[in-house]
Amino acid sequence: MQPFSALAKKLRSHLDSDFDLPRLLASLTTRSITVDARRELDFGSRRNRAYLIDDGWACTYKILRNGTRQIVDVGIPGDFIGARTLLFRSRDYSGSSLTRAVLYEISPRMLEATYQLSPKAGGALLWAISQDQSILSERLVDLGRRTALERVAHYILELEYRLGAIGSSGGGHFVCPLSQTLLADVLGLTPIHLNRVMRELREQNLISYGEGRVTILDRERLADLSSFDARYLDGPGLDPER
Amino acid sequence: MQPFSALAKKLRSHLDSDFDLPRLLASLTTRSITVDARRELDFGSRRNRAYLIDDGWACTYKILRNGTRQIVDVGIPGDFIGARTLLFRSRDYSGSSLTRAVLYEISPRMLEATYQLSPKAGGALLWAISQDQSILSERLVDLGRRTALERVAHYILELEYRLGAIGSSGGGHFVCPLSQTLLADVLGLTPIHLNRVMRELREQNLISYGEGRVTILDRERLADLSSFDARYLDGPGLDPER
DNA sequence: CGCCTCCTTGAGTTGTCTCAATGAATGTGG
DNA sequence: CCACATTCATTGAGACAACTCAAGGAGGCG
């Protein structure tokens, strides 16, 4: 696979079609790192580090004293991970690869250099970081005010949408390496309850799943059920005049 | 009050003591806007707008179809509000002042110009935006994995810490314009349950409150109860070597 | 073969919600 | 200055969504 192609796809609508973002980024980043599935990510010690996920999935999470875990971000190809605390002196969360993954280390200098070489490309990167924040705040609404069923439905639609933006979903189905335990830790539920909710969605013929794949059977009812409104993802299909 | 003094205080440890951030920002921003309490904030229509809160409190929130509300950010003086979607074409949340407030409109250009005039000041602003994101992700952990009692205790400590950074809290007490209904909407609880939790904290002699003031009576037990770890706020007192 | 991880289901418990209601404080208009 | 509406904090009683504990089956792997 071409390096940076997932990010380039995600930012397609923010850049001229003849702009070669991968080439620009390749000139600015150090080599890539390949990690196996379920490996802890090294976010640095003296200085915080962050990554661009080029291939595979990764996440950041916090473990609480009572042993529970909350996954804060789930990153797919083209997403940044750990960028939140790049400028911090400290850090109080951990990260892990979810699948075998290819990562590029990023630094504040790289963002800066991108901006100077091409303000438009720099702006596109900032847009991507904004989108991460917007996803985070939508998840906050999930956990604060939506039922488990709504949460799960909403999250499946979000994943499908995000994967679609990088060409990794189509026809309503996608490959999802998240186990039910992980999904529960993303959505603030117990694995047991998540399992029951998944069954409910399956029994209502809204989704089907198995063997690491999820299929959306009735997008409309699913979106209605979870009041999914893709505006928080600011995708290219959205009307700028609204 | 000096314009931008709250922000300057918050960023004190990121800038040289003789650096005049207020003067730099004054040269870059348009005039201030003063709004009464409980006024909807205008985040723009064609192009999204964002603000720096110079005085007073403000928030952003989403209202769901079932009528419930989730407050996503609560901004105090020196915080940005609405910056999350500054680069977006769309927006799906609302904002409101919580008290009478003084706001400065900010734009991507302003951030850029600050950066060019002083990379250090620009970096400090980016740090502040990172902190907002870090606060958001800590709240996510609250809603996902902490009990109501832990959440409330944790949030009170956070508020006291943040207010302390701008010189608006001391001796364990601070002025808090959030009604119990608003606090419930921040923490994903019903006002009724929040009220019971507040009573519990009061009866355990952990806090006292009333007439818009909150007093922390036993910080240690409160921090222990909620496993409060201020690292996510990346304050100046934290050891950079950790 | 034994040992994982993952998914699944049952039964009982509990944290939080819903519905209902009251008193205090504040503001408004007649 | 009173009648009225509104917001806010508070409490009780009952319901339910999600949790805990317990257990079993399917599949992968050394």
Phi, psi of A8 (to 5 degrees): -60, -40
User: Two tokens at A118?
Assistant: 């091409």
Give B78-117 pLDDT, tens digit per residue.
999 999 999 999 899 999 999 999 999 998 888 889 988 9
Q: Tell which B residues from 57 to 96 touch A, by Cβ distance under 8 Å.
A: 62, 64-65, 68-70, 72-73, 84-93
- Which DSSP string do the residues of A216-238 spell out, in sequence order? ES-HHHHHHHTT--GGGGT-TTS
**Strands, E, within chain B: which ranges?**
32-35, 50-55, 58-63, 69-75, 80-81, 94-97, 101-106, 169-170, 173-175, 207-210, 213-216
Q: Which chain D nucleotides are covered by protein, judged by CB under 7 A?
A: 7-13, 17-22
- Length A37 CA → C3 C1' (Å): 20
Per-residue pLDDT of chain A (242 residues; tens, 9 = 90+): 688 999 999 999 899 888 889 988 888 877 899 999 999 999 998 889 999 999 999 999 999 998 999 999 999 999 999 999 999 998 999 999 999 999 999 988 888 889 889 989 999 999 999 999 999 999 999 999 999 999 999 999 999 999 999 999 888 999 999 999 999 999 999 999 999 999 999 999 999 998 899 999 999 999 999 999 999 999 775 544 43
| Residue-level pLDDT at A170 | 83
Phi, psi of B42 (to 5 degrees): -95, 105
At B127, which amino acid appears? W
Taking the model in full, what pTM does it have? Answer: 0.94
- Length B192 CA → D10 C1' (Å): 8
Q: Using the CB atom, is residue B193 less than 7 Å from strand C?
A: yes
| Residue-level pLDDT at A237 | 59
Distance separating alpha carbons of residues A197 and B172, to the nearest angstrom? 43
Q: Tell which B residues from 137 to 196 touch A, by Cβ distance under 8 Å.
A: 137, 139-141, 143-146, 187-188
* List of B residues 133-192 with CB within 7 A of strand D: 179-181, 191-192
Q: B88 and A143: CB-CB below 8 Å?
A: no
Chain B hits for A50, CB-CB cut-off 8 Å, are: none
Contact B73, B132 (CB under 8 A): yes
* B100 touches A: beta carbon within 8 Å: no
Distance separating alpha carbons of residues A220 and A237, to the nearest angstrom? 17
pLDDT, mean of residues B205-225:
94
Give B173-202 pLDDT, tens digit per residue.
999 999 999 999 999 999 999 999 999 999
Distance separating alpha carbons of residues A188 and A151, to the nearest angstrom? 9
